[in-house]
Amino acid sequence: MEYFSGTKKLLDFIIADWKLLLILTLIFVIYFYYTRTFDYFEKKGIKYMKPIIFLGSLGPIITAKKSFHCYQYEIYNYFKGNPYGGLFEGSQPVLYILDPELIKAITIRDFDHFVDRNIMNSNKPRYLKQSLLNLKGPEWKGVRSTLTPTFSSSRLRNMLPLIQHCSQQMIEFLKQYDNKDVEMKDTMGHFTLEVIGACAFGIRCDALTDENAHFVKVAEKFNYMPRLKRLCIFFFLVFMPKMLRFFNISFFYPKSIEELLRILKVAKSERKLSGTKKNDFLQLVIDAAEKEKSDPERPNKYLDDDTIDAQSLLFLIAGYETSSTLLSFALHVLATKPELQTKLREHIEEMTDGKEMSYELLSQLDYLEGFLLETLRRYPPVGRVERVCTKNYTLPGTSVQVQTGEIVALPIYGIHMDPDYYPDPEEIRPERFMGEEKKNRPSHLFLAFGVGPRNCIGLRFAMFSAKMAMVALMKNFKFSVCDKTEDPIHFDKRSMLLKTGKGLWVRLEKI
């Protein structure tokens, strides 16, 4: 009787308080589900940053207490002395690689195990899915190999008149700001838009003649993201990452991308109707697609219309953001370091005096190249690079296994600011990327353009156009600090890409 009496009391409790029990059960299930992976690194004997439920190790980023770049630096120093370390993005384990030999193995030697990038797998339009950033496996390899010749030195030589014309337009544009304070990120953005409009779309976008030009207003908003959309993406990535594939979500502003796509299609249509050919990226991709179609030895055809559109949009988006970041930070550096500016200007004037600008001449400006690379080291537009394991892999010299589908990350900003590789990392020294000092440092410890087969396909173009711009700027203007100049720079805490909270202001004076 006592047994049945106890059972009856338990049933009465459940009936009376079923709501409480249901809530407690749900809390337990949710807690278990979102912490189920938190012993991942502990089981492997890997040092890791302790996570909290839902946020994982990303609390400082999500709450905007630290900028993305500064957090990568903090992560790097937390694990320094170890070849690798682990953290959690939500419940997703991410293995950070710090050891130079392991970095080389993953990005170069054993690249076939880490071919893919980590992307947001949403149901976005195909003209976004087909970009080189998103493509995977054999399809990425096919498109990459087809596009690589479009960035050869001979093709860049043909683009020189376009970039030179844009550089001259930039000089005329900047003359209106003589003896005035100028925010350089926005200003250099106009130059990069003009260059990419000419070299990618084959159009004149008037970015340097009309600040309110339609193309400028559309292109500048490509990465605009309302707060609600940010929260939505965060919710999906943390709570329901597998559900993303059912939703049309991307990091880009849809109206801007759709209008850019319309402009691109108009340019393609006009070119086909007129039969004219130009020395720009769009023409090179169209020609590559035609060559691919007519090649009987290539059964797989990769460059359909959506793929061509995707690469052109990628050229615009990636080129605009990274090149304008490089040039604006470079000019800020020169404004705050007048002795460096003087040396760079003297180098440029000595090397180019009385000579016609050419691809070969730009290649000889070693101090200018060193300065630009050093600026990218100190201020890389992207704070880290990621790879997805595509075949089970054991880290060389260890027993640590990386399974297919797992993510590894390289903390770019941490590596670039490591005094063991770059002594006095806060200082800007172009000599780091010149002569013996450059030769004696492993190339895979400079990651501004990535490294290995999946590095930035447009790095030559980016450096080429940046050099052209810097030559024109140094010959025509002097840059100095003003009341709005921020030194040291404080990075924007709400951006994944490198941005400043208050802008990059300098005083401009015509020489």
Per the DSSP assignment, residues forming a β-bridge with 500 are 491
Cβ-contact 279, 159 below 8 angstroms: yes
In degrees, to the nearest 5, what angle opens at C-alpha 307 toward C-alphas 302 and 311? 120
Residue 237: Cβ within 10 Å count: 16
Can you tell me the distance from the alpha carbon of 240 to that of 489, in angstroms, rounded to the nearest whole number? Answer: 36
Can you tell me the distance from the alpha carbon of 344 to that of 495, in angstroms, rounded to the nearest whole number? Answer: 31
Tokens of 393: 């892999």
Strand order in the sheet with 477-480: 180-183, 505-510, 477-480
Can you tell me the distance from the alpha carbon of 38 to that of 53, in angstroms, rounded to the nearest whole number? Answer: 9
User: What residue spans of 275-337 are helical by DSSP H?
Assistant: 281-293, 305-336
DSSP 225-268: --HHHHHHHHHHHHH-GGGGGGS---SS-HHHHHHHHHHHHHHH
* Residue of 123, 103, 121, 119 lying closest to 111 (CA atoms): 103
Give phi and psi for 241, each to the nearest 5. Answer: -60, -30
Residue 389 counted as an annotated binding residue = no
Strand order in the sheet with 84-89: 84-89, 92-97, 407-410, 385-388
Kindly report the length of the chain.
511
Positions at the binding site: 456
Please state the residue numbers annotated as binding site for heme.
456
